[in-house]
Chains A and B, each alone.
Chain A
Amino acid sequence: MSETTTTTNGASTGAAGAADGTGAGAATGATIELENLTKRYPGSPNPAVDEVNMEIKAGELVIFVGPSGCGKSTTLKMINRLIEPTSGRIRIGGEDVTDMDPVKLRRKVGYAIQSSGLFPHMTVAQNIALVPKMVGWSKSRIKSRVEEMLDLVGLDPGEFRGRYPRQLSGGQQQRVGVARALAADPPVLLMDEPFGAVDPITRDHLQDELIRLQHELHKTIVFVTHDFDEAIKLGDRIAVLRERSHIAQFDTPEAILTNPADDFVSGFVGAGAALKRLNLTRVRDVEVRDYPTVTVDDPLQDIFNKLRSGNTNEILLLDKRGRPYKWLRRGDLMRARGSLARAGTLVHDTVTRDATLRDALEAVLTDNAGRVAVTGRRGAYEGVVDMETLMNSVHELLEADRLDAVEHQHELQEQRAEHTHREQEGADATGEERA
């Protein structure tokens, strides 16, 4: 039993050295370094992937995004050597894996693909147990690990353990696919358009789940997609790739949205970058204002007084549990002849502090007075966000991003200048061919 528990509470163990941990304790990610990674197919003049250099930090979720055929999938598959690179090196957790046995390498690198890739002739439990079995875990440890993984991806083990993949919905299959990829606790997880084949609502759920998972596990995840919105939602950093996997820009979503490196990137970001930026900020990051409130239990006279004396036209009426109930205007109570039940307009929509600014804007735009109540635990009132706050916050955000980006650009240019300088100096040393 003791060995089964170590797998669950290993979250605090070291980061980069975790690459060789085939199982217990290695809950954190490992770094991935790609050095001059190139793939050339025989018979085509141009390489499919051309000299990719990239450093991915431990515990980072990096997205490869780009048009179809840009080599993003090829690049991903070279990391676990499903496609053997023609030249270049791959290092995981500092260890050069370019020449190691690919079968051993792949057991340390989780792999999840589009339409789940579950084996239809095996049950959910058998599918998840595959890798732990191959690396030689004990039966009891595998059994408890399967339960743990199903729990982790939000499926009830008792209900789903014995099912076959075809008895699951697309979203459930995808969850099991992720559970299988993570079963042997690999430090690195590769995901090749994993949510490409599910409907938009399920995809949204799965994305949220992945964010939650990553919060718990801190794996190093490389995720390939052609959907830029997905990239923004999930990525710590995004690599926008153009043909032959050339990196057009490799940066945080904020930086790419506010300061695309070139026309290709801005074309890919598409219209509405400012709107997309709203997805990256949460309500808790902006100023939530106080608003005069009364509760349904207050005497009518108090409510009258508050309405008359307050500097706003309206007050927010809260129900018995402190949840926003109705907006009351000055004349409302008079018209309703003093009955709280008939007066005012019901609160349709509230947002939590975790909601994105985009959600908040949506709610503010639909509200006829241009404001939305923010709620906390159990829907209790916490404050109000209105149009003005939103506009100001967005302006500030964009301005800050722009400053960051300019500074960043500066740094990059310096780095690049230094790099070219070094390359010119040492052209003979680095120019040699590595087969």
Chain B
Amino acid sequence: MNFWDYLGSRHQQLLTDAFQHASAVFQCMVVATVIGVVIGVVAYRSEWAGSLATTTTSTILTIPSLAMIGLLIPIVGLGVAPTVIALTLYGLLPIVRNSIVGLRGVDPSLVDAAKGIGMSRTARLFRVELPLAWPPILTGIRVATQMLMGIAAIAAYASGPGLGNEIFRGIASLGSKNALNQVLAGTLGIIVLALLFDAAYVLIGRLTIPRGIRV
């Protein structure tokens, strides 16, 4: 059975896996974005809080994903829970770092001007600082998504959802007729998903970055 025949006969299963993969990554990204931006907003003003946030998140990133999921299994069990927790944690680093860098990068004279014309602390944050820091934050989100696409494949190890199942099944039955097809289908599926997400981010960027600061 060649690759195309394989795809033809298993497309139902593949599509379900792909959808679950995308959905897991998307939901974890939403959670990671909210948490990451909040951490950034809380931390960017103080020197030590900023470095604490970035060091903590980058430490998380150094833990191998397989180990992380393995460590989570005894605590939260198999299935969706370890996948979601691991993905969210990994997604945090680029978002937290870019939020802090972006917010710190806002021209201090603009913050001064915002204060000077009588904007309150909250108004400054939501009307001036976050909109101006949005492009780097969005870049962080984009990088995090690409990363999570790959990491989500590992989630199958903890019986999580997604295209990782194809890959793991293929590796487990190495030597059998469809082993290579399975691994290939899973990998290519992830690549296609990553490209689709990236295109979506380009679109989101066009829609949400104000024309005045678009590069």
Contact of A106 among B115, B128, B212 (CB under 8 A): B115
Q: Are B132 and A120 in contact (CB under 8 A)?
A: yes
Q: How many residues of A contact B (CB 8 A)?
A: 29
| CB neighbours of B132 from chain A (8 A) | 119-121
Cβ contact within 8 Å between A111 and B113: yes
Contact of B131 among A82, A121, A134, A180 (CB under 8 A): A121
- In the complex, the answer to whether A111 meets B213 with C-beta atoms within 8 Å is no
Contacting residues, chain A, for B127 (C-beta < 8 A):
119
CB–CB A119/B211 < 8 A:
no
Q: Which of B116, B119, B212, B213 contacts A113 (CB 8 A)?
A: B116
Q: Is the CB of A107 within 8 A of B117?
A: yes
Interface flags for A117-142 (1: CB within 8 Å of B; 0: not) read 11111110000001100100000000
Q: Is the CB of A117 within 8 A of B112?
A: yes
A103 adjacent to B131 (CB under 8 Å): no
Q: How far is the CB of B11 from chain A (nearest CB, A)?
A: 45
Which residues of A are found within 8 Å of B46, using beta-carbon distances? none
- The reply on B2 being an interface residue by CB < 8 A is no
The answer to whether B116 touches A111 (Cβ under 8 A) is yes
With both beta carbons as reference points, the residue of chain B lying nearest to A123 in the complex is identified as B212
Interface of B is mostly: helix
- Known contacts A113-B109, A113-B112, A114-B109; is-contact A121 B119 (Cβ 8 Å): no
B210 at the interface (CB under 8 A from A): yes
Q: Does B123 sit within 8 A of A, measured CB to CB? A: yes
Given A113-B112, A120-B132, A181 and B118 contact (CB-CB distance below 8 Å) = no
Per DSSP, are chain A's interface residues mostly helix, strand or loop, or mixed?
A: mixed
Are A130 and B212 within 8 A (Cβ)? no
Whether the Cβ atoms of A82 and B112 lie closer than 8 Å is yes
Is B62 positioned at the interface, with any CB of A under 8 Å from its CB? no
Inter-chain CA distance A106–B127, complex, in Å, is 17
| Contact, CB under 8 Å: B128 / A119 | yes
B12 within 8 A of A: no
Residue A164 CB within 8 A of the other chain: yes
Interchain Cβ contacts under 8 Å between A and B, 27 examples: A82-B115, A82-B116, A103-B118, A103-B119, A105-B118, A106-B115, A106-B117, A111-B116, A113-B112, A114-B109, A117-B109, A117-B112, A117-B113, A117-B116, A119-B110, A119-B113, A119-B114, A119-B127, A119-B128, A120-B213, A121-B132, A121-B212, A122-B210, A130-B117, A131-B118, A134-B123, A180-B117
Q: A119-B114, A121-B210 are in contact. List 18 more A-B contacts (CB 8 A).
A: A82-B112, A82-B115, A103-B120, A106-B115, A106-B117, A117-B113, A119-B132, A120-B110, A121-B131, A121-B132, A134-B118, A134-B123, A164-B210, A164-B212, A165-B212, A166-B212, A180-B117, A181-B117
Task: Report, nearest first, the 6 A-B pairs whose CB atoms are least far apart.
Answer: A117-B113, A164-B212, A106-B118, A111-B116, A107-B118, A121-B210
